[in-house]
């Protein structure tokens, strides 16, 4: 849900142009204050007031998110987090995979390796 959302398309556009937005609890109650701070710093009307790419990369929310994903990937590689289930194995045997096995095994391998990331 867009924080600029209005009752009509025209109202939404007016909100975007004016820089008026709100994080409605119905849609953003699960969004952390740190994430909202990150978004607020990107939604500044004057582009020169917005965070730069470097500032974005050192924002606490990005650093925390990166660390969380990195930890999950590490646990997955150690087989402590990602345990394939019978359902997962059944899904991996879909028709398109079997076609790829005959014609493009490298593509299939890449797809299977990327499915854990």
Query: Higher-confidence residue: 23 or 85?
Result: 23
Average pLDDT (46-62) is 95
Residue 1: CB partners within 8 Å, gap ≥ 6?
24, 27, 28
Nearest to 75 by CA among 116, 18, 22, 19: 116
Percent of the chain whose predicted confidence (pLDDT) is above 70: 70
The answer to whether residue 61 scores a pLDDT higher than 80 is yes
Dihedral in degrees, nearest 10, Cα atoms 110, 86, 77, 117: 50
Q: The pTM is what?
A: 0.61
Provide the pLDDT confidence category of residue 86 given band limits of 50, 70 and 90. Answer: low
- The rounded distance, in Å, linking the Cα atoms of 23 and 69 is 25
């Amino acid at each position: 849900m867009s924080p600029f959302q209005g009752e009509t398309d025209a109202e939404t556009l007016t909100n975007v142009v004016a820089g008026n937005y709100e994080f409605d609890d119905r849609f953003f109650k699960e969004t952390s204050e740190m994430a909202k701070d990150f978004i607020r710093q990107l939604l500044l009307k004057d582009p020169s007031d917005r965070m730069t790419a470097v500032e974005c990369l050192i924002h606490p929310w990005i650093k925390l998110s990166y660390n969380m994903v990195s930890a999950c990937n590490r646990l997955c590689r150690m087989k402590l987090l990602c345990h394939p289930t019978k359902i997962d194995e059944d899904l991996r045997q879909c028709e398109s995979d079997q076609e790829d096995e005959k014609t493009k095994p490298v593509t299939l391998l890449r797809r299977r390796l990327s499915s854990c990331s």
